[in-house]
């Protein structure tokens, strides 16, 4: 004997649906909701050979190498208003037998500096590359300065260079942005 249970099942389901209601729901509380996403993005990277610090045509050292990268994430007004904190992580791997000074300038559209940080990179060798990690946390009043930037310029300075210098300097970096998104009035 085969019984069709579809109709009783649908009847119970409809009864439950009708009995469940939306009473005691306060939709005004939706304005009190705050989202706190954390966004991780790659920032800048480079691979420099020791030969990049020496001009073979003119036989002169090139002591500073500079590169500029656009920061598209910070140019949004909503992001600027929601950003509460940013953590920067810079990881250098150096196999050049020289120390380096690395400067990070955050610039606005008129190339005016809005935020600056720098670090020292320890020397290494080709047989024993040295990893230098540098972290920088930006929050509070400095966040406003950071959010005015459209680009970041990194300058790497070596104290001396010659044609016989060997090795490489590599940089990988990422930024973790901490946002707080609320309903705006």
Q: What is the pTM of this model?
A: 0.78
- Tell whether 9 is covered by a domain: no
Q: How far apart are CA 72 and CA 86, in angstroms?
A: 15
Q: For residue 138, what is the domain's CATH number? A: 2.60.120.660
Q: How far apart are CA 94 and CA 128, in angstroms?
A: 9
Q: Tokens for 173?
A: 């970096």
- The tens digit of pLDDT for each residue in 81-109 reads 888 999 999 999 999 999 999 999 999 99
Number of domains in the chain: 1
- The tens digit of pLDDT for each residue in 9-66 reads 667 667 766 666 555 666 566 566 778 888 898 999 999 999 999 998 999 999 999 9
Domain that holds residue 83: 37-179
């Amino acid at each position: 004997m085969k019984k069709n249970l579809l109709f009783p099942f649908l009847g119970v389901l409809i009864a439950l649906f009708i009995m469940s209601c939306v009473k005691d729901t306060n939709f005004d509380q939706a304005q009190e909701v705050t989202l706190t996403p954390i966004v991780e993005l790659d920032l800048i990277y480079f691979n420099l050979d020791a030969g990049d610090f020496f001009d073979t045509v003119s036989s002169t050292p090139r002591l500073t190498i500079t590169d500029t990268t656009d920061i598209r994430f910070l140019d949004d007004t909503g992001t600027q208003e929601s950003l509460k904190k940013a953590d920067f992580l810079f990881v250098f791997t150096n196999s050049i037998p020289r120390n380096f000074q690395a400067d990070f300038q955050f610039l606005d559209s008129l190339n005016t500096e809005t935020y600056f940080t720098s670090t020292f990179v320890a020397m290494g060798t080709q047989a024993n590359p040295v990893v230098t990690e540098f972290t920088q946390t930006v929050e509070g009043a400095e966040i406003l300065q950071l959010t005015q930037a459209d680009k970041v310029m990194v300058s790497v300075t070596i104290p001396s260079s010659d044609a016989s210098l060997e090795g490489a300097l590599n940089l990988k970096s990422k930024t973790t942005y901490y946002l707080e998104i609320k309903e705006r009035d």
